[in-house]
Structure formats: structure tokens, C-alpha cells
A and B are shown apart, each in its own frame.
Chain A
């Protein structure tokens, strides 16, 4: 008895954060900086900034087989390799699919990284605010439920996050894509400038440089991070800390407070709910190395295990009070799964700039903010809209395979850069559908003997109609810009491949139809906060990570203030 009490005491903290990805890192930073003794649980291994980036400074010839994955590698990555971009340089960041199974009722690409920092190491770094239009959209269209917050609720937290992580971008004054606290923008190249000017002239649409979480100037508050060197080897981990990741930024900040205990190999599989107290009191952890079950306790719990990971934990937290999973009285946990659709658009060639080139590999492209269904632009085929991402470049040596020559002639021609090309792909909003959902599968177990998820989701009519427009409109803009050989493309794109999965524990105003309140608290268990992608009530069309971070910082502030008032 006494031993148990002693053990419980040892395993008790002010706060527990589950996950160290882009939102978990923020929860850790904010809670520890506000003085809370915080246990941060990571299911995978430690990844220390710089020290644990084994490939970060390798040259192309340092990898065997030009960096290609072997059939043995591919056997372990049947889902992860659907991305088509994993090579020897980054294969250590992606989960072994055989050890982490799930069931696809319909094809769903679940792309994951289980290690400290999670996908914040490999993310695309595109960083955009949602707008007032996005927060109002569900209510206006009668789709899903209304967001319980508006732009002004989140704006100061967008400021807070952007200022800290460093976001390079160009202010454009667009209401549908609010400006932020920007470091200097990266440069457009010669043909992108032409495209920007032509599209403005012919369509009245903006083209801007991508807004990215890269430092283009020093951050006075964080001298450990350096300025981007245009290596574009980001997803290996950056030796300069030039792009934002949990590893380069928030986790070191949390560690500096002395208030963080980061425990790796700690698989949180459920939340402990105390029926007498009527609240969540801690989490159950399976130690991935020792296979031991351990319980940890805290006054508040932040779930940042990723959209599907957090849904899993809620669904798997079954008690008398919550027979269908913690906080799932609304039956909305696991529903409304969304992603962004992309990989369709158009490309073209540009003549007249053969004497121009660029220096550096810019880890960024152009962005065309949403214009559909805004102002006088009305689509009859679909609601909401999409943005475009893409860019121009000169063809590389790879063009040589398709050239008619070989020998000296081929070699000579490849020493010069190839023709200018430009391409864009849409990034389209996905609506929340209650039958796009994940459920707990207690029959199929993972290597730890834990239940798994079954995913049943698909693009529906609105997304399909939008997809056609993404393609045709891309070609229209390239044509109107005077570019040559415009061609449309539509590559296979399972839901999930956008790696923007979200929505499985949505925020809302009503506990009957949503899981979280306006502060990301579980309606039915207010000391549990979910601040990763699961919280999203609609998907908008912007890359979502910034919004997860802002929601997390806002929720952490509220949590600490409520804790101090004795309300939690």
C-alpha cells in the first residue's frame, strides 16, 4: 500500500504531454515555461538536434545505389514508400509498417514518424494562417459543426508562434490568407516573377513566395539557430537548425526550463479516468523496450499524439463512464477525418530565359492563395477552394535519358542547365464527413499486443469536382502567361497522402456534436486537452501545422490559468 503510494508520487507531475511532434513540442515548451513540472512522453527513440541526424551532411555519392531503397527496405515500408520520396537519406525517419499495422477499408496512406520530434523533422515547412472566412465556413455552408472560435481568437497566438519559430514570407494584405510576423521573403526566380506578373495582370490573382518556417534572418531570442543555407536537404535534419522542428526549437526550450522530463520509448495507450473524482488522472504507458506497464499521473493531460494517434488513445480509453472511449459521448471521436488533396495541376516550358539561372536549392516554392468562391468568384460545382504550390526551375541532367543523343554530344549538352519548366499543384480543402472515420480494431494487434485502427475514408463529390478545377485552372493560368507545351497531370492521390490528416476529435460549441470545446478541452473531461490535428473542425486549404501550434499555445495558456484558479 505504502509502496504504491510512493510509486504514484514518483510518477506524478503537474502536466503530461503525449507526443513530441509539432504540437507536442509546443505544449512542452509553453507548459514548462509557465512553471509546470511536465512529463513528455514519446513512443519512439530520442532524436537530439544535430547529434542524431546521421545523414545531414552527406553528399550524393556517399549513398550506395544513388540513395535508392533496396527491396528489403521496401518490404518494411509498404505504406510509407507510397510517398515515393523516401531514400537512404531519410529512411530512418519513417515507421516500420509491419510493426505498426492498420486496416484500410479503402486506401488511406498513413505516413508516420515515431521518434522524438515526430514529423516536425520531415515536414514541408509551409506555414499559413487560416482566415476569418475559414473559421466561418462550416456555419455559413451548413457543413459539419461551427468552429467555436474565430480568427481574432487565434490571431495573437499565430503572432506568438510565428515570432518564436521564424517564418519567412511576403506580406500581401489578403483577407483569405492573413499576413503574419515575417522574416524576409525568399526570392522568386526569373520565370516565377513572370508568372506572378502575368497572373496578376490577366486574372487579378496573387502569386507569392511560399511562407516557410525557415530562418532568412537571425532570431535574436534563439541564437542556437542559423540562417538557411539553401541546401534543401532539410528532411535529413538541418545542422544549422535553420528550419523549425521540435528538435531544433521547442524541445530544447522546454529542457532549458529544468521542468521537463522527456521519456522515450513510452507508448501511451490509454488515459486513466477516476470515476470517483470524475476526471482523468493520468495515462497508461507501455514501455516499448521493457514491455512494462507504467502509470503516470498529472493534473492536466495534453494529447499531441497526432490526429490518428490521439483518436486511438481516446477510443482505447474505455471505462464505465466512457464505454466508447474517453470523451466520446458525442460519438464524434474518430469521425470527420480530413486531409488535403493534391498532386494534380499543370506544367509548362518557358522560352526566353536561357541566359538566366539561380544559385542555391531553395527549400520553398511559389504559393497561389485561394481565389475560388471568394468575392465575385463563384464555382457552381463545389464549395470552398484550393491554393496552389509549385515553382519554376531548369531541367537537370536527368533529362539526358530522354535526349536523342549519347556520347560526347550528350555529355556536352548536359553540362548546361536544361530548359526552364514551371509546374503547380493544387492543395484542396476536404469537407468533414461523419462517415470518413477511424474505429478501434480490437482483433488486429500490433507488435506490442495493442489494438489497432481501421480507417475508412475517401474523397467525395465535392473534392472530386474541385480536383477537376484544380487541374484545368492551373493549365489556364500557365497558358495565359504565354508559356509553352502546357500539360495537365493528375497523379494518384489516396486520402492520407497529403499527410495533413485531421479532424478526428473536432472542436465545437456543443458537447453533443463535438469532442472539444473552444479551448481544446475534452467537453466531458476538461483536464484533457487535444491540440493536434484531431481538433480541426474544418480543413481549410492551407497547410495546417501553424494552426496546430497556435491552438496548442492558446490551450496551454488557458490550462495554466484554469489550473491556477483551481478549476482543473
Chain B
């Protein structure tokens, strides 16, 4: 579905036609909804939107920050550009396109333009499928995030989201806890005294 179709559909849903400055903005793509909160250096705008919404489904904002708050979409974009090899980039983009194509097939829309319920359902479908095939991540799974190994797209996106999120300041300090200078090591203390998991 292209942007014009999206507008038509939105008009139907909302029961009135968008007019004036609002529709001009949408047509020019400068006021897309959902909005991109950063300028991608690797992804196209559509790809960036998908990654942005996908990362937020994986780690949503709750009473604490979510993936978008932590800058995860920009992190993934930069990782793809600076860390992934050409082959890994192509592989990732192929997986992304297939994932989006499945959104169109299931819901007749780009993933980023689907409803939150539809997005969650699609992520669940792909996530369940990936894990039912038995993804062997081993105990050093998170290292794969930089290497883009032979894992399904949804797992790569999950790895990158988790890596980007928990190494970010909001993820490490607001969702988990972080102390660069803990002081003398205490080996065995009640969890209740410590609270949340350490980020590092």
C-alpha cells in the first residue's frame, strides 16, 4: 500500500477527509506517522520506520523508557552501516523486506503502518516460528548481534534491540541499574538489598 492509499484508508476510518496543511504534509512525506525520531544513515526512511516500530514492540515504553526513548532505532541503523559487512547488510535488508511483505500479505499494509495489535501479532508469528525451529544461540548469543550470523531476521532485530537498549544510558540506568565504581566486591548479598539486575 502506498502513501496515497494509506491516506484514503485513514480518511475512511476517521470518517472525514484530511485537508489543508495536514494532507500536504503527509503527501510530501515530511509528517509521516509514525514519526522517525532520527535521521537514518543506512536505512531508507521506510526501512527506518519499520525498525523503529519493531524495536519498540520488542522493548516497549512502560513506566520506564522503551527502545525508541533509548535511541535503539538509530543504534541499529548505525550498527548496520558501520559494523555489518556488505553481505550481512544485504542479508538483513532481505529479511526486513520479507518481513514487511508478510505484513502486507497478512494485513494489507506496511508493518510500520499496521495497528499496534497487528504489529504485535506479526512479531509473535515470526518470533514463534524462529524459536520453534530451534535457534541455537548458545551462551554467547549477544556477540552475534555485531556479526549478523545465520539467524532469522526477527532474531537479528531482537539481538540488536536488546544490545542497543541495555548498553544505552536509559536502558542501563533506568530499567536496570548501573554503577561504574561499585567499591569493594560483596560476593553474597540478599537480592532484596540489591534490587534490580546490574547492567554490567
Give A contacts to B, CB under 8 Å: 57, 59-61, 64-71, 84, 186-190, 192-193, 216, 227-231, 233, 347, 354-362, 394, 396-402, 404, 406-408, 410-412, 414-418, 421
Contact = CB atoms under 8 A, between A and B. Distances in A.
B188 to A, nearest CB: 4
Contact of B186 (A67, A187, A192, A421): A187
Contacts of B200: 60, 361, 396
Contacts of B143: 84
Given A66-B146, A359-B186, A397-B166, A415 B197 contact: yes
B14 interface: no
Contacts of B159: 401
B142 A401 contact: yes
A410 to B, nearest CB: 7
B183 A60 contact: no
A230 B184 contact: yes
Interface in B176-191: 176, 178, 180-191
Contacts of A396: 197-198, 200
In which size bucket is the chain B interface?
35 or more
Given A397-B162, A407-B60, 7 more contacts: A59-B169, A66-B79, A230-B184, A230-B185, A396-B198, A398-B163, A401-B162
B185 A359 contact: yes
B141 interface: yes
A65 B72 CA distance: 11
Contacts of B26: none
A186 B192 CA distance: 22
Contacts, number: 178
A356 B143 CA distance: 27
Interface centre among B181, B190, B196 (most CB of A within 10 A): B181
Contact of A61 (B79, B145, B169, B181): B169
A71 B186 contact: no
Interface centre among A358, A404, A408, A417 (most CB of B within 10 A): A358
Given A66-B145, A359-B185, A361-B182, A411 B59 contact: yes
B56 to A, nearest CB: 9
Given A356-B188, A358-B189, A359-B186, A59 B164 contact: no
A508 B141 CA distance: 47
B98 interface: no
Nearest to B131: A404
B120 A231 contact: no
A491 to B, nearest CB: 10
Interface string B38-70: 000000000000000000011110101010000
Contacts of A360: 182-186
8 contacts: A66-B163, A187-B188, A188-B187, A358-B186, A360-B182, A360-B185, A401-B137, A416-B191
B175 to A, nearest CB: 6
Given A70-B83, A227-B184, A357-B194, A406 B78 contact: no
B40 to A, nearest CB: 15
Contacts of A398: 141-142, 162-163, 166
A41 B46 CA distance: 57
Contacts of A84: 143
B4 to A, nearest CB: 32
A187 B185 CA distance: 7
Given A71-B83, A230-B182, A61 B187 contact: no
B191 A354 contact: yes
A406 B58 contact: yes
Contacts of B62: 408, 411-412
A65 B181 contact: no
B184 A355 contact: no
Nearest to B86: A71
Interface in B106-148: 120, 123-124, 127, 131, 135, 137, 139, 141-146
Contacts of B192: 355
A15 B100 CA distance: 71
Nearest to A240: B181
A363 B191 CA distance: 21
A347 B191 contact: no
A207 to B, nearest CB: 14
Contacts of B166: 397-398, 414
Contact of B196 (A64, A70, A71, A416): A416
B90 interface: no
Given A360-B182, A401-B159, A407-B60, A190 B169 contact: no
A68 B75 CA distance: 12
B60 A356 contact: no
Contacts of A65: 75, 78-79, 82-83, 146
B199 to A, nearest CB: 7
B182 A61 contact: no
Contacts of A414: 162, 166, 175-176, 197
B37 interface: no
A69 B84 CA distance: 10
A190 B182 contact: no
Contacts of A418: 197
A189 B188 contact: yes
B186 A397 contact: no
Given A230-B182, A415-B175, A415-B176, A407 B58 contact: yes
A360 to B, nearest CB: 4
Interface centre among A229, A398, A421 (most CB of B within 10 A): A398
Interface centre among A71, A229, A402, A410 (most CB of B within 10 A): A402
Interface centre among A65, A67, A347, A417 (most CB of B within 10 A): A65
A231 B162 contact: no
Given A61-B167, A407-B58, A408-B62, A362 B185 contact: yes
